[in-house]
Amino acid sequence: MRFVLAATGASGAIYLQRLLDRLAAGGHEVHLLLSKYARVVVAEELPGGLRVPPGIKEWRGDASMHVPFASGSARFDGMAVVPCSMGTLARIAHGTSETTILRAADVFLKERRRLVLVPRESPFSLIHARNLVAALEVGAIVVPAMPAFYHRPQTVEEVADTVVFRVLDHLGVPAEDAPKWQEAPAAGE
Ligand SMILES: Cc1cc2nc3c(=O)[nH]c(=O)nc-3n(C[C@H](O)[C@H](O)[C@H](O)COP(=O)(O)O)c2cc1C
């Protein structure tokens, strides 16, 4: 499958790294874009920087419109913005389209293709909440960077994967090894 993976300047570069590794291991075609502030966050949060697996197409800069996914005529299966800053969320929700990432998101929305946003901020202001609603109203899938703990993750990577697995589900490439919720009632129920 063909995906666009964009990263912006919110905390959570580990989600980007884990998702990139999964998509590369699955043999998918991945076009990677980082905003200027995504690079700042990666430098803060990932010792050694982002590892871009072989086969991933990384586009340098976030200004060009000469990329295949800036046009609706190129067929792609999905786009994820991981992590998604509240600024980028706002700009996507309002269709400003002035950078490569924003134009790509705009194209995925107009073409009714999967667009998965992984916002991270705490607490939310009313502006953030309204922009989340606006993004949902225009068809984005919002998978907040809210890890789950019911499978008792033992490492930071396992915690991050609770979010990454949800993103993969919504991109249409569910991970075989993602823990499933047990249908049998737990002790004490
Ligand atoms: C280290 C660092 C962490 C940040 N964390 C967040 C965050 O978690 N959420 C957020 O919305 N913005 C965060 N910001 C602010 C954004 O990077 C800033 O609003 C930037 O303009 C976003 O631009 P972009 O969406 O084009 O990447 C952070 C900035 C830095 C430098």
**What average pLDDT is seen over the chain?**
95
Query: Can you spell out the DSSP letters for 95-159?
Result: T---SHHHHHHHHHHHTT-EEEEEE--SSPPHHHHHHHHHHHHTT-EE--S----TT---SHHHH
The pTM (predicted TM-score) of the whole model is 0.96
In this predicted structure, what is the pLDDT of residue 179? 86
CA Rg value for the chain: 16
pLDDT value at position 173?
A: 96
What homologous superfamily does CATH list for 2-171?
Answer: Flavin prenyltransferase-like (3.40.50.1950)
pLDDT of the residue at 183: 66
pLDDT of amino acid 185? 67
- Per the DSSP assignment, residues forming a β-bridge with 119 are 84
Q: Which residues of the chain have pLDDT under 70?
A: 183-186
Strands 29-34 and 2-7: parallel
From 35, 39, 40, 41, the mutation candidate for ligand 1 (largest count of ligand atoms within 8 A of CB) is 41
119 lines ligand 1 (CB under 6 A): no
For the Cβ of 40 lying below 6 angstroms from any atom of ligand 1, the answer is: yes
